[in-house]
Amino acid sequence: MRKLMMSTASLAALFAAACTPATTNEDAVTETAEIHVELDAATQDALATNPLLAEWTGPYGGVPNFDTASLDDLRGALEAGMAANLAEIDAIVSNPEAPTFENTIVEMERAGDALGRVFTYWSIWSSNMSSPEFRAIQGEMIPALSAYQSQITQNEALFARIRAVYEGEEMDSLRPDQQRLVQLTYDGFARNGATLEGEAAERYAAINQRLAELHTTFSNNVLHDEENYVTYLSADQLSGLPQGFIDASAAAAASRGREGEYAITNTRSSMDPFLTFSDERDLREQVWRNYYSRGDNGDEYDNNALITEILQLRDERVALLGYDNYASWRLEDRMAGNPQNAMDLMVPVWHAAVGRIEEEVADMQALADERGDDITIAPWDYRYYAEKVRQDRYALDSDEVKQYLQLDNLREAMFYVAGELFGFEFRALPEGEVPVWHPTVRVWEVTDRDSGENIGLWYLDPFARQGKRSGAWASSFRSHTTFDGEQNVLATNNSNFIEGAPGEPVLVSWDDAETFFHEFGHALHTLSSNVDYPTLNGGVRDYTEFQSQLLERWLLTDPVIDNYLVHVETGEPIPAELVERIRAAANFNQGFSTGEYLASALMDMVYHTTEPSEMSDPDTFERETLAELGMPDEIVMRHRSPHFGHVFSGEGYSAGYYGYMWADVLTSDASEAFQEAPGGYYDPEVAGRLVEYLFAPRNSIDPAVAYREFRGRDADPAALMRDRGFPVPEGMGGEE
């Protein structure tokens, strides 16, 4: 797998410890210097004939055959891939020689390549091209995949070999990155049930299997509600909406067989602009309720009972390992270290955000009263009246700004930044040169500007469609490694912009433009890797968002403004006075954006530090907990519990949603480093340290050590408060 970035966090967890990539040929026996792998006849046949297992061929180090991949081959490919990987693990365990770094840890890095190729296709069918047919296979195979993972993580003989390397004298002679690889491998087993025996081990495996099923069902329930709750408008219900949004909504309706109507889909990219601009308050409420009720409609797709069971099982599982609660287990190997440290960061910012929300609501209510609207600000009014206040205070119209934010230009701006900071060049590949999974997906070759060396490929899937999960994300089909010969990168970014009419440029909001840069930061993190081993391409969750959050800052740098933010009709650069208004309004509505995020992050931490038996049903517990926190009535969690996929459709962000704010401390502090540099955001010396210490090493260096190498000290949390325009609480802040 060469450490694929899985499309669902639950699948990433399944394979984080041992299912890593290798080179597998089609012979019955694969030999290396240490290992002799024997495969049964059925697995041999599948490796030789199943196209999803086939080694990638063609240009650029080989590429996935998305254009010919068929769901008909998926079950057989998964079964054979698991069998092949288990045979590789058996060969490692059966090696009569004493455990060493090479014959145990490196061989584990080398194992699992065939299954990894299958999961490249799985990730696309799961996130980008989901269908009832795929979801049926997914539901059937998830228990088998969980059982397979448990066979590896609970393999006592395998863990004994890992522990022998971890505790052995050889550790002292290994390079630092190799020592970290051993540490990560050992922790991946020890923290995931390898130390358990007997009934405890059996129960741990059973819990994992059930959780995998629940996570998948949760995710599919949310997708169902996103696909099926669509608000259709007639021509007399479009008041206030920008023409570009109207055109995109007409196209969305036509694609659903509703020609002549206008579809407001149940995704953030459609909901958000509608709530910002629509003059129809009753429709704003309807669209708001559709969106924030995903997974919470009291039908067969309701997620509340699933949340309760997920929390109970997570708590039981970590109790088997001796932890007081799930959050304590989850944060032990992250930068925060423990739940209290995460809360100590969030709570002061929460109080500042609530205070700012009160000010924002007062401003909006005063404007509504002045207009004679005879309303009290409700959650479905917040975006609408905030936009009116923005226009009144800063003469800043979001739709005016949008005219300078063309999707294609933003992409070219990102390429420019990547060139200046990383030395990357991007060349668009002709259509058909490499296979893609949908006609709107495009691919670029990435090369080193100086040497011309191929770094890899970058795939972009920009538009919303049925069967594609909402939001924006980055993943990779292949990561950089060198231990078995240098391997290039296949990285991908995915968005849900609303595709316009044929031939029309796609205009996006300022928030969406920042998100586009953010997700590209993840891609650059993947493309810049210089690590030797697949596992080291992973990351620490409350650190990996830092690199992508930091890249958002380049959207408002002078070269991007001057060359890429041009008017859609005239081609004229964005006026300097409009840029100044954007900068002046940078912290406008900061209470709302910080508050809705922190409400979700705090709920996540409370869920995972509270004894499940003390919780009521999730809807009630959410409401009561937020009331205790002092949640303003006018906002709602960014992700309400029944559709909080970060936390309940897998375990990647569970008890870890705080990580965005932890990373934002690093982002704010690192931004100040660029602001203080002679060359600003393009200062070559600071940019060089950025790539050398914060991007290229991936997880081969402890994040705290890496950041100190970049900054010369730990990050100052007061930088976050300064960045958001909040008062810095007494006692918060570090010294140079």
Digit-coded pLDDT (tens) for 671-692: 999 999 999 999 999 999 999 9
371: Cβ–Cβ under 8 A, 6 or more apart, which residues?
none
DSSP secondary structure code for residue 237 in this structure = G
**Residue 392: how many other CB atoms lie within 10 Å:** 12
**SS3 at position 637:** coil
Residue ranges in 372-483 assigned as alpha helix (H): 382-394, 398-402, 407-422
Domains of the chain: 9-195 (1.10.1370.40), 229-292 (no CATH), 304-396+589-657 (1.10.1370.10), 660-724 (no CATH)
- Note the pLDDT of residue 733: 64
* Residue 717, phi then psi, degrees to nearest 5: -65, -25
Burial class (CB in 10 A: 0-12, 13-18, 19+), 175: exposed
What is the C-alpha to C-alpha distance for residues 660 and 601, in angstroms, rounded to an integer?
Answer: 9
| Cα 457 from chain centre | 19
What is the C-alpha to C-alpha distance for residues 422 and 54, in angstroms, rounded to an integer?
Answer: 33
What is the C-alpha to C-alpha distance for residues 545 and 542, in angstroms, rounded to an integer?
Answer: 7
Residue 715 is encoded by which pair of tokens? 């990050």
Low-confidence ranges of the chain (pLDDT < 70): 1-35, 733-736
Give yes or no for a contact between 594 and 724, defined as CB atoms under 8 angstroms apart: yes
Q: Which residue, 46, 117, 54, 49, is CA-closest to 83?
A: 46
Instruction: Give the CA distances from residue 695 to residues 359, 473, 525, 550, 683, in Å, rounded to whole numbers and listed in that order.
Output: 39, 18, 5, 11, 16
Burial class (CB in 10 A: 0-12, 13-18, 19+), 117: buried
Q: How far apart are the first and last CA of the chain?
A: 42
What is the C-alpha to C-alpha distance for residues 549 and 465, in angstroms, rounded to an integer?
Answer: 26
Give yes or no for a contact between 130 and 468, defined as CB atoms under 8 angstroms apart: yes
> What is the residue-wise DSSP string for 262-288?
EEE-SSHHHHHHHHHH---HHHHHHHH
Digit-coded pLDDT (tens) for 620-629: 999 999 999 9
What is the C-alpha to C-alpha distance for residues 458 and 475, in angstroms, rounded to an integer?
Answer: 10
322-328 LR contacts (CB < 8 Å, sep 24+):
325/608, 325/609, 325/610, 325/611, 326/608, 326/609, 326/654, 326/655, 327/605, 327/608, 327/609, 327/655, 328/609
